[in-house]
Structure 1
């Protein structure tokens, strides 16, 4: 489903690791925005053109062979433009090829910005402030139609403005927290230059989404696959608000859920959320289809296909079902489709790239354009209890992608017990709400241990806990050492088959939150 309001910002992605942060910052002003590849066909937006365009940074030099190019059709829209880093350089390069060259001294990290003009982009920003630079090229010749409005000691062209049009560019990254007044700078572009009032809220999203669902579905019925997580629960509640008993929720035990999760969550759906839900035990079907499969991408495809098979079977007796509702999020979409196309995809998600090419049901994806924290805000507005809203993300493929090898019941049971210990201890020590997501992965590594003076040769469990805002970037959680020691001791003593526990101290990027 497409929830693009009339007033929105288009972000053209040139491959920056910070592009998703631009979107997050823009949305903090209650302004809707979308990320699209730099080579997106702009004719797709003719019916609803953006109120502003942001050109992201990127890892390339504008002088590289095959470097991302600027679609000059954006100038025909007479729409405010802000170029960031590579986005600034491509604006200059477009006017004067060769105007950008490798700098004698690269600039990475904090730098002192001196503002030369504070009338629009830098309105109410101090004349001197710290910004975050990340570039090896610089502009040696500024096109005549641009003027400098900011500089640093190392970069005489740190910020520019077109003399006649509302086109701006900055060499630094206002989207990162290290740029002290970065949020205000983006706010000036969004609010003062693009004249957007910030009316895109959880309440307005709910109202427009309910209307869209009703219009799309009509008198047909919708089946919604519930996972027990925030995303699918919010989707089910939205759809239920829109069409009532035309919705049938299905909560599938795929054999890949956490300990006791199937019955516990099913009870909450029925007794507290009052959703029309049917529980189906399809664990044997999933595990049979996954037997002997090691590759994580194949696991995701198999799990996605099996879910559809289960849903199709569950509603095969009723031809009024025409739609499948699911909780695809914006990070799922971004990670599944790179700015250069599928060749550089990080990983497919079971509810994006993991669906079969042909389905008997059309998709309803009402939160497809939302980040996780935005979904939680929508859930709160819908009155969903906090016990659901604050639940850590749990992947659709479940424990199937936390067993880092082929999946079988023995490994899953080990993982369930280890996971239950980790999560229960986080709750007991009031640490659960301090982290974005916590998980245990069972590694395909067996190591020698000693228990009761006897040699063991058993599996290794990896603990993973991260802090994040939306899951697009994350840092490992600095959990107390005594806590980690206690969890490790419990797992090794209480879970037969595991004799070693490690803690993952990787950030995202370069790692992902899940191991697979």
Structure 2
């Protein structure tokens, strides 16, 4: 009998912290299924969810403010273990009669947590010689203890930084265990979901695949499915997973928009058509996309032009597949979270998502989203388990609009061809010099400006490309990758010598924030 991988799950209530998705990812890394829901989830919904444990996230508000986010009061009476993080701990403290006040000294960044008394089961092994380094981000603190709780730790600035009521399985921490800056934070979250909540780790790549195959077969039956294959990680893994489930009932439509990386279209056809035996229809649409983009320099408008034209072409092809009843998409869990946040007004829209929002009204196909519950790292792990090439599964993120948003301003074929060659040299050298797997995302950007140069005895007036490489764990913040000078010099030399039209290479040393990772 197949295991129900959703039978053990953790509920995370989101109070608006920038780190909430990280909490979910850490729980998933412990091989336990979890879901994010808004803080105002009703008590009946919470009961119906059937969580083995509940985590209350941090948030930007103060619990004593009139408009501060609150939760269903009866949540703490459900006999379910609860862990409150930052705002979540303050909310728990206030509920049980503790006092939360504005701190005289705020704590942002590194702090030393000092143990008090005897740490309970959650904190076993968390302190070494009574101390544990943690990451703080708060301007309020608990001044007086909640009834029935005991203090586990403090810092020199905050009198209460960890609390517990072991009898009721209620725990709170003022710090952020989900971030990498808290070295033993992962251990603490593992202890919560395994030891305190009694989960066993059913959420593994192999069992995710088995579960997905079963659900795909139940949903689709004998009907046919079409999928828009972009060559990116998400659509590629979705295609491989659906093909594993229903074989020739799946047809992929690969729209080659002329905005892909060097040789990418041929690679897609080779991997899926020849190696995996997936039915793939290739549509060469470079001229149509470039024509639509003529004269347009605004990044958001370019994204919408590319996305809308893709839908138009895909619809044209889908009409030729009259028997198809399902449209498959590579939607993943962060897309779902961010899309829901945008709809409820609880998140800011930085740029348009190309694969969220359902189907146009005029399309009658049913929607199939087999990756909808997965984070990107889980998608990659599933892809490898399905036998996709390592370089395809673990390559750096590539935006839906492709080179259309890595060419600043108007998009022209000349610019695409130049950028493709420069980017290919850059990535080739990152692999050759052992940098690629240390970098979270790397790419070249085409700048539509010309600069004066000298080649041989002649003056040149040619284009500029910028190279971007960042390190990040969550893509919410990122630091620029500190490439050795000799490697940068070699890469720059190759690009200038081998790519006609470029005479200058720049290296982007901006962090996120204030810059974004992509330039558009």
Q: Is this a same-fold pair by TM over 0.5?
A: yes
User: What is the match of residue 363 of structure 1?
Assistant: 367
1:381-400 correspondence runs (5 A): 381-400=385-404
Equivalent-residue separation in structure 1 for 2:77 and 2:294 (angstroms): 55
User: What is the match of residue 92 of structure 1?
Assistant: 93
TM-score if structure 1 supplies the norm length?
Answer: 0.91
Q: Contact 1:70/1:94 (CA < 8 Å) preserved in 2?
A: no
TM-score if structure 2 supplies the norm length?
Answer: 0.90
Partner of 1:258, secondary structure, is coil
Q: CA deviation at 1:357?
A: 6.0
Q: Describe the superposition over 1:186-239 as per-residue Cα deviations: whole angstroms up to 9, x where unpaired.
A: 122111111111111011100111111111112221111222232222111110
Q: Contact 1:300/1:354 (CA < 8 Å) preserved in 2?
A: no
Q: Describe the superposition over 1:316-373 as per-residue Cα deviations: whole angstroms up to 9, x where unpaired.
A: 1333212221222233334445487265123222112596465433322211222222
Question: Structure 2 stretches of 5 or more lacking a match?
Answer: none
Pick the aligned partner of 1:352 from 332, 353, 356. 356
User: What is the match of residue 506 of structure 1?
Assistant: 510
- Counterparts in 2 of 1:447 and 1:259: CA distance versus 1, 3 Å: same
Q: Contact 1:225/1:250 (CA < 8 Å) preserved in 2?
A: yes
2:192 paired with 1:189: yes
Pick the aligned partner of 1:265 from 265, 268, 278. 268
2:136 paired with 1:133: yes
Partner of 2:319, secondary structure, is coil
User: What is the match of residue 439 of structure 1?
Assistant: 443
Pick the aligned partner of 2:409 from 398, 405, 408. 405
2:101 paired with 1:101: yes
Q: Contact 1:337/1:345 (CA < 8 Å) preserved in 2?
A: no
Q: CA deviation at 1:462?
A: 1.7
Q: CA deviation at 1:448?
A: 4.6
User: What is the match of residue 119 of structure 1?
Assistant: 120
Q: Describe the superposition over 1:264-290 as per-residue Cα deviations: whole angstroms up to 9, x where unpaired.
A: 321222221221111111222222333
Pick the aligned partner of 2:312 from 300, 309, 323. 309
Q: Contact 2:226/2:250 (CA < 8 Å) preserved in 1?
A: yes
Q: Contact 1:62/1:90 (CA < 8 Å) preserved in 2?
A: yes
Q: CA deviation at 1:473?
A: 4.7
Q: Contact 1:151/1:159 (CA < 8 Å) preserved in 2?
A: yes
Q: Contact 2:450/2:463 (CA < 8 Å) preserved in 1?
A: yes
Partner of 1:153, secondary structure, is coil
1:111-510 correspondence runs (5 A): 111-126=112-127, 127-162=130-165, 165-338=168-341, 341=345, 344-352=348-356, 356=360, 359-451=363-455, 458-469=462-473, 471-510=475-514
Q: Contact 2:439/2:481 (CA < 8 Å) preserved in 1?
A: yes
Partner of 1:150, secondary structure, is strand
Q: CA deviation at 1:253?
A: 0.6
Equivalent-residue separation in structure 2 for 1:228 and 1:17 (angstroms): 30
Question: Structure 1 stretches of 5 or more lacking a match?
Answer: none
Q: Contact 2:452/2:459 (CA < 8 Å) preserved in 1?
A: yes
Stretch deviating more after TM superposition (119-128 or 355-364): 355-364
2:22 paired with 1:21: yes
Q: CA deviation at 1:413?
A: 1.8
Partner of 2:254, secondary structure, is strand
Equivalent-residue separation in structure 2 for 1:461 and 1:317 (angstroms): 41
Q: Contact 1:252/1:282 (CA < 8 Å) preserved in 2?
A: yes
Q: CA deviation at 1:169?
A: 0.7
Q: Describe the superposition over 1:69-128 as per-residue Cα deviations: whole angstroms up to 9, x where unpaired.
A: 33435335432111111111122334559x221111222222132142323211233343
Q: Contact 1:20/1:472 (CA < 8 Å) preserved in 2?
A: no
User: What is the match of residue 515 of structure 1?
Assistant: 519
Equivalent-residue separation in structure 2 for 1:489 and 1:65 (angstroms): 60
Q: How many residues align?
A: 513
Stretch deviating more after TM superposition (26-35 or 333-342): 333-342
Partner of 1:344, secondary structure, is coil
- Counterparts in 2 of 1:215 and 1:114: CA distance versus 1, 3 Å: same
Q: CA deviation at 1:157?
A: 1.0
Q: Contact 1:304/1:354 (CA < 8 Å) preserved in 2?
A: no
Q: CA deviation at 1:425?
A: 1.9
Stretch deviating more after TM superposition (70-79 or 413-422): 70-79
Q: CA deviation at 1:469?
A: 4.5
Q: Contact 2:115/2:153 (CA < 8 Å) preserved in 1?
A: yes
Q: Contact 1:373/1:469 (CA < 8 Å) preserved in 2?
A: no
Equivalent-residue separation in structure 2 for 1:330 and 1:274 (angstroms): 28
